[in-house]
Chain A
C-alpha cells in the first residue's frame, strides 16, 4: 500500500461522508416538502359535513387527518372532559373536550372546543343550543402518545385525562362515538365564547404524516450512489496499480509506457 493511496483513501472517505450527509439532508428536505405539500393540499379539499367523512365506530378514514369538516348538533356539556397537561403558546393548561351529539347521525363527536389554564374557566355551553362546528378532523390519540406525565393519571381529578383517548371516552359517553376528534375553529353560534370567553381556540396541528417529495428523495439516493461510486473508484485504482505493478515486475523494466 503506497502512501499515495492512503492519502487518496482519506479523500475518498471525506467525499463519502459528505455525500452521505448531503443525501440525508436531501431526505429531510424531501420529508419537509412532502409535509408542506400535504399541509398545502389538505385545506384545499372541500369542507364536508362530518357525516360524509367518518362514520361512527369505523376506522379513521384514510387521508382524513387535517380534513376540514363541519358538524351540526348539540353539545352534551355534562360529559365534558379536560385533557391535561397541554401547552398553548407556552402556557400549561387543559384542552376542553366536549361531545357534540351530531344531528344527522345521533352519534357523539369529540370536539376540542379550546384551551383553558384553569379548569374553572371551562364552562360547558347550554345543551339546548343547536350549533354548527367547523374544524379540523384528527385521529384519536393513543393511550401512550404523551407518555407518563408528571401528574399520574390516578392523581387527576374526575373528568380529566392525560390523552384524548377515544377508547376511554367511548365507555364514558353514552351512544355511539366517531373514531375521530375535531379541533373546533369556528362555531355558529359561538356558544363557547358566550359561555366562557377565557376558552381559547386550539390551532389544529399540521399533519403528522405526509409523503416524500420525489425529487429530493431521488437526489438523496443519487448522493449515496455517488458516495459508493467514489469508494469503487478508489478500490479500482488501487487494484489496477497493484496489478500493473506486478506486471512490470514480471517484465523487469520493459518500458512500453510513455
Chain B
C-alpha cells in the first residue's frame, strides 16, 4: 500500500473517480426524475404500472451512484457525514444535478491545489 495522507493522494485516481461520480450523479438525477414522473402519472405511491418496472432500475442506478460517491469520497478525503449527506441528496428530485456541479467544482479546486501545493 502506498502511504496515505488526508488530502488527495492519487491525483489520477481522484480525477477518474470524479468523472465516474459526475456520470452517476447525472444518471441518478435523471432516473429519479423519471421515477417521480411515473409516480405522479400513476397518481401516488404504491400504485402499480410502469413504476413496477422502473423502481428497481432506479434503485440499481442509485446504488451505483452511492458507490461512486464512496469511491470519490475516499480518494479526496471526505468525512463520513459529508458522504452520507451527498448520498441522501439522491432522494430529492433535481438535487443531484446541483450537487454534481457543487461537488465537481470543489474537487476541481482541490485537485488544482494539490498540483500547485
Contact = CB atoms under 8 A, between A and B. Distances in A.
B55 A240 contact: no
- Chain A contact-residue range equals 20 to 34
Contact of B80 (A226, A233, A244): A233
B67 A229 contact: yes
Which of B7, B59, B60: most chain A Cβ within 10 A? Answer: B59
A233 B70 contact: yes
B4 A247 contact: yes
B113 to A, nearest CB: 10
B6 to A, nearest CB: 4
Given A233-B80, A236-B74, A243 B4 contact: yes
A257 interface: yes
A244 B6 contact: yes
Contacts of A247: 3-5
A150 interface: no
Nearest to B56: A218
Given A214-B52, A229-B66, A233-B80, A240 B60 contact: no
Contacts of A194: none
Given A236-B74, A240-B74, A218 B4 contact: no
Interface in A231-253: 232-233, 236-237, 240, 243-244, 246-248, 250
Contacts of B20: none
A222 B56 contact: yes
B73 to A, nearest CB: 9
B97 interface: no
A256 to B, nearest CB: 6
